[in-house]
Amino acid sequence: MRIGILTSGGDCPGINATIRGVCKTAISHYGMEVFGIHSGFRGLLDDEIEPLTESSLTGLLNMGGTILGTSREKPFKKRVTDSEDKPARMLRNINKYGLDCIVCIGGNGTQKTAAKLAAAGVNVVTVPKTIDNDVWGTDISFGFDSAVSIATDAIDRLHSTASSHQRVMVIEVMGHKAGWIALYSGMAGGGDIILLPELPFDIHRIGDTIISRLKKGKPYSIVVVAEGIPTLNGKKAAQYIAEEIEYETGFETRETVLGYIQRGGSPTAFDRNLATRMGGHATELAAAGMFGRMVSLRGDEITSVPLEEVAGKLKVVTEDHDLIIQGKRMGVCFG
């Protein structure tokens, strides 16, 4: 059997560990041939495809980024400037290399494109990849634990600064539509106020919370915000919340935007193992002819779900999440 593998969308800790899991299982256990497709779906369009061997996989387990490169190419999105049918061009290159299956590693956009590729008759298996943890159909995606660990470390460091200067510190973490990183890092880092895109907030209530903390002898506060919370006049989340808090309370407030640091560097041990398990299961699905499926973690079990059930859906935080319930019981303000 001959399989191709590509990575698409944003970079994320654990991609290389997943590539390693897929390819080592394919080569060592199943005796398959593996071809690396560079720059995501663009590589399928531009014939940027080369064989991968065991020696190609050395040192990948703890390496950040992706050795195959990535892009946000959407080949099924028709543009006026397109001179050729992109899906047809991809199919020609798949046939040219005799690829029996394409393994696609990526987030929501990748799952949607892969589902369309499967509908076009291509044998596809996918692995969910996102630091945002918003891919529907899996409890956790690799990359999430690494991002939460980085964000939590940053929050830990802000505690000492906030305490020393008796300030309010606002830290902005990633998450446009889903607030998983803000929730998990905010709770792990002892955030006093945590704001998520999914939950409405009242800036007056936030101000009251900070003033109430001061009256209780707590002269500083840590506010964790997801980048996707609603703001006015196009302001960044941390800037908007910091300005509003200063206006509401008169307290000196500073903001920190963590940014792309959350996506870079080595994956945590948890993500390395999750990526290895997911990559291996993707190869098992291909070997068994179980195409059109996405690898999934449910509880402690690695399984899979039909790709058409995943495409176009988003996994978001809900108000009944146990971390939110427990946080509220402990006095954490969620807006």
Q: Which residues are catalytic?
A: 132
The angle, 0 to 180 degrees and rounded to 10, between the axes of the packed helices 108-119 and 86-96 is 80
**Beta carbons of 11 and 105 less than 8 angstroms apart:** no
**Beta carbons of 211 and 221 less than 8 angstroms apart:** no
d(CA 231, CA 255): 15
Residue with tokens 């892969």: 114
Structure tokens at 290: 């179980």
**Beta carbons of 181 and 148 less than 8 angstroms apart:** yes
From first CA to last CA, the distance across the chain in angstroms is 53
**Beta carbons of 286 and 103 less than 8 angstroms apart:** yes
**Beta carbons of 324 and 183 less than 8 angstroms apart:** yes
CA–CA distance from 107 to each of 160, 181, 259, 314 (Å)?
A: 35, 15, 18, 10
